Amino acid sequence: MMTTTSAIRALIEQYPGRFSVELGINLSAGRSPETFKWFLASVLFGARISEKVVKQTFRQFASRNVVAPKAILDTGWDGLVEILDLGGYVRYDFKTATKLLDMCRTLTENYQDDLTNLHAAAANPEDLEQRLKSLAKGIGDVTVNIFLREMRGIWDKADPLPSDLVLIAAKQRGIVPRAMKDREKALALLREAWDKAGMKKKDFPDFEAALVRAGIALRRRRGSESAP
């Protein structure tokens, strides 16, 4: 029977780590421009649309240097719809363009267009999540979880609970019990297993991202597609 440590090592060998790294976003230094790029990508990932289309669409934004609040506002609704359509994000183009504009206006008005200021203003992890969701209508739990998962260890208040995809994969691979429902306990078990496997604490988001990818693969085999 495979041990938890061997299950973790097999997972890491099978799947890449952070989605932000795959998109060429460097979050390690906590720099505001890179953080915003990842939030933009997280908003795109938050819709029920394929991972491939999201990546294509983010790269359309990046190639046009429309990856900062001011650039998004200057591009305007029509320009954003055009970029979204070029990436294949056609099912959600209109409402996503509106969401991005609203998000950037709120970020500019309330936090001087800097997500780092939003984090500083948050009282605790729960308040941080609520402030992110309050940036615009349509930014929900899925988007915020995607974003904060890869900000874990970079922002001290970024501490999201495991998503459904993480739990599905962790249970399937025997890393947490199949009957586990308490997400706080599940997160503690995942951290403990990662530590016992001899992995670096700073690389825990890579473990979570690999579990997400494994969870997506499981759901795809069952006939559904899910956001990371």
Give the bridge partners for 155, in sequence order. Answer: 152
10 Å CB burial of residue 30 (0-12, 13-18, 19+) is: middle
- Measure the CA–CA gap between 199 and 191, rounded to whole angstroms: 10
- Measure the CA–CA gap between 96 and 81, rounded to whole angstroms: 8
User: Cβ(46)–Cβ(99) under 8 Å?
Assistant: no
Task: Give the pLDDT of the chain (228 residues) as one tens digit per residue.
Answer: 579 999 999 999 999 999 999 999 999 999 999 999 999 999 999 998 999 999 999 999 999 999 999 999 999 999 999 999 999 999 899 999 999 999 999 999 999 999 999 999 999 999 999 999 999 999 999 999 999 999 999 999 999 999 999 999 999 999 999 999 999 999 999 999 999 999 999 999 999 999 999 999 998 887 765 567
What confidence score (pLDDT) does residue 221 get?
A: 83
Domains assigned to the chain: 4-17+162-221 (no CATH), 31-139 (1.10.340.30)
CB under 8 Å to 43, separation ≥6 — which residues?
Answer: 96, 99, 100, 103, 139, 143
- Measure the CA–CA gap between 163 and 143, rounded to whole angstroms: 11
The SS3 of residue 171 is helix
